[in-house]
Structure 1
Amino acid sequence: MARSLTDQQVLTATGRDELIRFAGGQPLKLYEGLDTVALQGITQSIFVADAGLIDRIPGQTRIPPALLDSLAHIDHYPWSGHTEQFAEEQFLQQQFPSRCDLYNFLLFAADFYRFNYTNDLSYNNTLATLVSRIGSWFGPAMTPLFKDTAVEFSVNDQTDTPEAQQERVKTFAPYLNWVAIFQQAGFLPASDHVIQQYYNNGKNIFATTHHSSFLQELGKYITYLDKYPYLREQQLHHLDSLQQTGFIDSTQKKQIITRYKPFTLLSSDDILSGCNNAVPLYTATDIKPYDCIPQNEYGLIPPASIQTVFKTVTDKISRKILPLTVTDIRIYKQKPGSNGLYPYQEQLALSRSAKLLSATLLLNNQLYKETIDEKEFESWIRPENFQFLNHYLEDQHDNRRFYFITPNRFTHYEPLPDTVFLALLTEQQATLLQSPYLFDRIKGCYNGSPGDYDYAVYPGDYFQLSSRLSKTQIDSFVAICQQHQVLPAGNTALLQATIREQNPAGYRAALSCSPACFDSQDNLYSLLTGTQRALQQMLPHNKLFFTQLPEHRNGTQQPSSGFMFNKQIYRVPASGEATDFSNEIVVKTINKALSGHGLPYRLYQVSDNSEVFNGHSYVLMKPAAAQALRSLSAEIFPVTGSSR
């Protein structure tokens, strides 16, 4: 390797000899005659185990085993949580000198020289000597790196053309010279052309590029090749474990193993295509024809597309995994507000998402609702929009869950994935599959995605039904609330499905679906406004209104304020500070006003809702309704307070 790099003018004879010394574990001449103390103050950062950085003297890129072991046992950030990565580093350490050891030795040295050789180093003789000596290692073939400049590829997916892609391939060609150099030197197998093939497709060239960043990318691939025997072994161990769980049988495992190709790990197609509990969704036929990726506008997915995708998914599951029959798929769209805008249009810059469309469907004659979560530049055919599948499993007391599984691209040179798999997994199987050696991330079909946590079920709760209300509990809750006019008496099945879709963690969360439930800040105006709105919901023809009075000061007495209801004044303690707001006294006063005018409703504080910042949740209902809900669950209302 050293000879080839010298012949290709990457290294000089001096650099060749130093590389040979490094590979043999011998002292480098780089440090001869340099002040030892001064040398300790000259370092560069090295990233270890994809976890954190450590400082090393230039040329000392090999991490001593004792140091690596000590880093692996640190139980705090950034070192904790990287067990697999440290195991891989320890595997590489046993292979020293591996190709990645030699490559990184040269690359870190070249980077150190590149960052320093044009600087005035007269203030530090040791540093100046070190930079000069490292510079003497490299020949003229390294000039593109040392005179590196950025090449910017501005690509718009909507306007890109084959001609522009081909032009980018030509522009990118000089960077591929590095692949040829290191392949000729033996750092890459002669038969491995994945990098060249990847960048011969102009669609893969779209970002700013430097010689330095490309060499770092090449180093990652060389490291992957050196790790490959270990990575393959880990995959095989995981296949053994999956067989023990029943996800695959021995025949299927043998067939999967035959799909290994040189220098590649098993893909999702290799593993899942023959499994009994996984069905494919093909991009070309099952996804792309029905997709609608939003750009500033939402709610444009054709209803027929949603219906077709839901039908396709359930049909595939029914043919291979378990019997499902979907019927009566109906699509609904929110109406714009009085200002003509949809909710997302008022906060588009922040949310970049919307939930304007929803669907109801009968799955094996049970009604489910699905709110379609749209995100800008993303497909709507995502796991969170198929929650009804897992709700159905919960209702059947099935301890498995459906997951979306997308390919794990181990090197990013693998072909772009064109198949998503929908797999039915036990908790143990899901844990095994979500591994850096199989699939880095698998996502259960539940609400919740990065940046959007409305009504989410988190991965740790996929199999824990105690974390949310069951269908039976929701049905009982709805029956009581409809009986006492807390919820509208319309379509009971739809109301049950609507609440279920929101994954309420308890009855107080389910109560938020009542039109008479509201959140209020801890001040009189907010509470009166919410109460008035709830009263109008319960009594649309109500002519009685709350009006806040200006603050009243009575000499040296405590400031007080109040409100007027049906021309009668009610006084309550006032405070400008939310922490001093006596919501219990205010609620009692509001209830006194309601009772005094013959209204059957009372205001109740709902148990603390952590989502209400600096405030509380309240509901307006009849006392008999409150008593019935207390009988259902004591957690709905606070133990003390306004619920009497």
Structure 2
Amino acid sequence: MSAKIPARIGAILFLLVLLHHVGFAQRLSADELNRIAESLTDQQLLTQKGKAELLRFAEKKPLEVYKGFHKAFLDEANSSVYFLNDYTDILPGRGIFPISYFDSLLNLKPDFEKEYAIREERFLATNFPTRTDVFQFLYTAAGFYRDGRSGTDSTKILADRFGAYFGPAMEPLYRDSTIEFSVSFDKDTKALEEERVKQVKPYLGWLAIFKKAGLLDAADTRMEDKFNNGKEIISSVSQRRMMDDIRALITYHDKFPYYRQQQISLLDSLIASGFINKTAATKLVENYKRDTLLNINDLALTTKNYLSLDYETEIKPFDYMTRDDYGQIPTDKIKQLYELVLQKASRLLNFKYSALEVHVLKDEAEDQMKYPNNRQFYIYVKINDILYKEMIKERELESWILPQNFQFLNHYLEDQKDPRRLYFTQHGLFTGYESQEPGTILMTLLNEKEEAFARNVYMASKISPCYNGTPGDYSYTAWERYDLTQRFTRAQVTEAVDFFLASCILKNKAQRMQLIATFREKNPVSVSNLLLELPNAFNSGGGAWTFERFLYQVNLSIKGLLQTDKDVLTAYVADYEKVPEKGDADQEMLVFSFRCKEKKYEFKVENEGQTWENNLMINTINKAFLEAGIPYGIYFLPEDSNFFRQDLLDENFVLLSPEQAEGLRNKYKGLFKVETER
């Protein structure tokens, strides 16, 4: 214990020293406010009346604009102010809240996203007035005039009073117009890019005004850089959009000291966890650039806990963005990229690999498994002589180089009982003007505690574990690491596959290793998940399937098991007929019938929904199989199979022989949720 105390004290002292250099957001002095107000007046954004009101606002004095209005009217009047990460109706100058207000909100124990927004606003309130406060006052007052001047009675009077704050430089905001750009990446040209830059240029006038006034940092050229590059102009542009973005930049600069405080606190936690050493962390903090934050990738690059892929030289040559058709990625590119990743991963994780294969998935079932149509490729690779499989998932208009396509590396870590997992880590986005495409793509190794520290708005905008989601999920992405106590391990998958082979549920013993790798890739949580992936498993279609369609599916499955081309179930008929019922000669009943080896079977119900009640249809089919000497029956799978395959709805079933079902029932207690007759 004595050894731990000095280490912790050392970490705290380290943090305190760093915080000393961070400082706090600078409250605007009276001289600074006067200079800002004077500049805005000289640039004809503010009138003398507006200037006087701005200075009253900064001193928390009552505004002249509200004189003569009843409190009830002012309480109901609306002006949309961006506050606590949302738009709230607060009139200009009436949204100055004391620190106790934010403390009361925090005492309500909000969710994390709301909590960090409250703490940020509390930080600004502590330093009132800031540049953010001044800009908000101007923007919301102008907005009330723009939206309220066509109103009636008191609303119009108040709007006109706000309008008197502003000179002609604010006019573009009132007559706002939106430019819509429809950019085709295939047909875009340099001339079109230059034309977009020319069209947007008048909208950038706000930047010069607010930089000259000292509200926006003159050295921050992010907006100019973007809108002077036609390739970056691909969506709509408006005066409001420009003002919103300027507000985001001003707010970012005001909150920067708070952001940095939070980062240093998180950094302290990552030092304590061993992810980064104190010396490296100290250098990072000492090299903080002017108003540029650190991110998880900056930290990872100072450690040995990452695998990096350079975008230009190692990603771009192999990338392919699916547009109209899936399955078009060149297989040689797939193999080259996985070879590159395996080379880097083998050094990082200390393993040997061999037998890397890339396969194109055919339309028919492969390895006795079924796959959704949007997965056309898979790889096999041996790592330390254990076979791993990776399905390559594609999404329209997205790169195929995605976290879920490298799950096999996390499966390897699981097999080694390594507590770390690989994540795609991306830096934080505070203004929307940070680079969206980093120079490198990082897969960072984090244990569970480190991941919790890093999964924070102040450290990373997105941390995506290299795991698949459930089959049938369109994104096919897992948002959290898998809990190994809730999911089958490799040993459990192997045990189940061996049991299936011994019971002849699966028959291709020569493909044992491929079957294990295939099942493992799907992250099953129970044996019913594994059974659901067999060709002889099917479902009721969530009520959308007709009687005929269901029998058609059963017939296909039973033909496959019997290895015959001849139909077993035929003549599916669903028809109404009049059946005397309690003296009513006109009573109609729905009659379902089919034939099994020429014998006709039928049952009658009042409506189609009753076919599923009391297993009526299932028991009728099972009876037909028994009488026809067919050694299989239909068995219900547990409800957890629904959650495993999101593309399947309602009830799920599997065709098994009675001996196979009994063996499964004995080995996996409670497997079949409903007993059916046979």
TM-score, length-normalised on structure 1? 0.90
Matching of residues 69-148 of structure 1 within 5 Å = 69-74=103-108, 81-117=113-149, 119=150, 121=151, 123-124=152-153, 126-148=154-176
Aligned residue identity for 1:88: E
* Cα separation, partners in 2 of 1:297 and 1:127, compared to 1, 3 Å: same
One-letter amino acid of the counterpart of residue 388, structure 2 = Y
Give distance in 1, aligned partners of 2:363 and 2:595.
Answer: 34
Establish whether residue 54 from structure 1 lines up as the match of residue 88 from structure 2. Answer: yes
Preserved contact between residue 357 and residue 380 of structure 2 (Cα < 8 Å): yes
Quick one: which of 473, 479, 482 aligns to 2:492?
Answer: 473
CA–CA distance in 2 between the matches of 1:169 and 1:457? 40
> What residue number does 2:560 align with?
537
- The one of 247, 265, 271 equivalent to 2:275 is 247
CA distance in 2 between partners of 1:449 and 1:597 (Å):
38
SS at match of 1:584: helix
Structure-to-structure mapping, 1:580-599, within 5 angstroms: 581-582=612-613, 584-599=615-630
Q: In the alignment, what sits opposite 1:642? A: 676
Q: What SS does the corresponding residue of 2:349 show, helix, strand or coil? A: coil
Q: Residues 202 and 493 from structure 1, CA distance in 2 versus in 1: closer, same or farther, beyond 3 angstroms?
A: same
Which of 662, 669, 676 is matched with 1:627 structurally?
Answer: 662
Per mean C-alpha deviation after superposition, the further-off stretch among 602-611 and 290-299 is 602-611
SS at match of 2:201: helix
Partner deviation per Cα, 1:446-490 (whole Å, 9 max, x = no partner) = 11399935766451xx24112221111111111121222212314
Partner of 2:512: 492
| Aligned mate of 2:184, from 133, 156, 160 | 156
2:208 aligns with one of 180, 191, 203: 180
* Residue of structure 2 in register with 1:388 after alignment: 408
Residue 607 of structure 1 contacts residue 636 of structure 1 at CA under 8 Å; is this kept in 2?
yes
Cα distance in structure 1, aligned partners of 2:385 and 2:533: 24
AA partner of residue 116 (structure 1): G
Which residue number in structure 1 is paired with residue 196 of structure 2? 168
- Larger mean CA deviation between 233-242 and 589-598 belongs to 589-598
Task: Kindly report which structure 2 residues correspond to 1:312-351, keeping only aligned pairs within 5 A, or say none.
Answer: 312-319=340-347, 321-336=348-363
What secondary structure does 2:430 align onto? coil
How far apart are the structure 1 equivalents of 2:476 and 2:228?
44
In the other structure, the counterpart of 1:236 is: 264
Name the CA shift for 1:544/1:95 in 2 (closer, same or farther; >3 Å). Answer: closer
CA contact (8 A) 1:447 1:453 kept: no
- Indicate if the aligned counterparts of 2:540 and 2:651 stay in contact, CA closer than 8 A: yes
Distance in 1 separating the partners of 2:143 and 2:590:
70
Per the alignment, residue 297 of structure 1 pairs with 325
Cα pair distance change 1:501/1:642, threshold 3 Å: same
Counterpart code for 2:491: T
- Of the three residues 570, 582, 607, the one matched with 1:576 is 607
Deviation at 1:13, TM superposition (A): 0.8
SS at match of 1:466: coil
2:332 alignment partner, SS class? helix
Bigger mean CA offset, 293-302 vs 180-189 = 180-189
CA–CA distance in 1 between the matches of 2:202 and 2:623?
82
Matching residue of 1:362: 382
Kindly tell me: are residues 181 and 612 of structure 1, through their superposed partners in 2, closer, same or farther at Cα, counting changes over 3 Å? closer
Separation of aligned partners in 2, 1:193 and 1:456:
36
Correspondence for 1:23: 58
Between the aligned partners of 2:567 and 2:163, the Cα distance in structure 1 is 87
Distance in 1, matches of 2:565 and 2:236, equals 64
Pairwise CA distance, 1:17: 0.5
**Cα distance, 1:75 vs structure 2:** 6.1
- Deviation, 1:294, is 1.1
Relative CO higher for 1 or 2, CA cutoff 8 Å, sep ≥ 6?
2
User: Cα distance, 1:206 vs. partner?
Assistant: 2.3
Give the secondary structure class of the aligned counterpart of 2:246: helix
CA offsets per residue over residues 46-71 of structure 1, 9 Å max, x none? 23211x44322344243444544444
**Cα distance in 2, alignment partners of residues 637 and 132 from structure 1:** 73
Compute the displacement of 1:309 (Å).
1.3
Give the 3 Å change call, closer, same or farther, for CA 8–588 of structure 1 in structure 2: closer
Q: Does 1:219 align with 2:247?
A: yes
Aligned residue type for 2:657 = K
Structure 1: state its 5+ residue gaps: 345-350
Does the Cα contact within 8 Å between 1:294 and 1:374 map onto a contact in 2? yes
**RMSD between aligned residues:** 2.8
Distance 1:515 1:65, change over 3 A: same
Q: Which moved more, 1:297-306 or 1:268-277?
A: 268-277
Residue 2 (structure 1) aligned with residue 30 (structure 2) = no
Corresponding residue to 1:507 among 517, 527, 534? 527
Q: Which amino acid aligns with 2:133?
A: D
Contact 1:578 1:614 survives alignment (8 Å): no
Out of 644, 647, 651, the position equivalent to 1:616 is 651
CA distance in 2, matches of 1:145, 1:275: 49
Quote the Cα distance in structure 1 between the aligned partners of 2:531 and 2:477: 17
| CA contact 2:81–2:136 (8 Å) conserved in 1 | no
User: Would the aligned equivalents of 2:625 and 2:633 in 1 still touch at CA under 8 Å?
Assistant: yes
Q: Cα offset for 1:150?
A: 1.9
Whole-angstrom distance in 2 between the partners of 1:480 and 1:400: 31
- 1:261 alignment partner in structure 2: 289
Cα distance in 2, alignment partners of residues 283 and 36 from structure 1: 59
Shift of residue 271, structure 1, vs aligned partner: 2.1
The change in CA–CA distance for 1:40 and 1:515 in structure 2 (over 3 A counts) is closer
Q: Does 1:404 align with 2:424?
A: yes
1:238-260 deviations in Å (ceiling 9; x for gaps): 11111111110112212222331
Worse-matched range after superposition: 497-506 or 322-331: 322-331
In terms of mean alpha carbon deviation, does 422-431 or 450-459 score higher? Answer: 450-459
Q: Deviations over 1:407-458 (max 9, x none)?
A: 2233233344221111111011111111110102100001139993576645
Alpha-carbon distance in structure 2 between the residues aligned to 1:191 and 1:80? 33
Q: Distance in 1 between matches of 2:242 and 2:114?
A: 26
Instruction: Report the 3-state secondary structure (helix = DSSP H, G, I; strand = E; otherwise coil) of the residue aligned with 1:477.
Output: helix
CA contact (8 A) 1:154 1:206 kept: yes
User: Which residue pairs with 2:238 in the alignment?
Assistant: 210
Q: Match for 1:469: what amino acid? A: F
SS of the aligned residue for 2:485 comes to helix
- What secondary structure does 1:375 align onto? coil
Q: 1:428 aligns with which of 417, 442, 449?
A: 449
TM-score by length of 2: 0.85
SS at match of 1:114: helix
Rounded Cα–Cα distance in structure 2 between residues aligned with 1:549 and 1:360: 46
The SS at the match of 2:493 is helix
2 CA distance for matches of 1:454 and 1:28?
52
Q: Aligned ranges for residues 546-557 of structure 1 at < 5 Å?
A: 546-547=569-570, 548=572, 555-556=580-581
Q: 2:599 corresponds to which letter in structure 1?
A: Q
Equivalent pair of 1:74/1:80 in contact (CA under 8 Å): no
Cross-structure match for 2:598: 567
Kindly tell me: are residues 140 and 473 of structure 1, through their superposed partners in 2, closer, same or farther at Cα, counting changes over 3 Å?
same
- Distance in 1 between residues matched to 2:628 and 2:355, nearest whole Å: 47
Distance, in Å, in 1 between the alignment partners of 2:232 and 2:595 is 68
CA distance in 2 between counterparts of 1:506 and 1:270 reads 40
For residues 58 and 410 of structure 1, the distance between their equivalents in structure 2, rounded to whole angstroms, comes to 25
- The aligned counterpart of 1:196 is 224
Instruction: State the partner residue of 1:348.
Output: none
SS of the aligned residue for 1:491 comes to helix
Q: How many residues align?
A: 622
Distance 1:564 1:189, change over 3 A: closer
Q: Which amino acid aligns with 1:296?
A: D
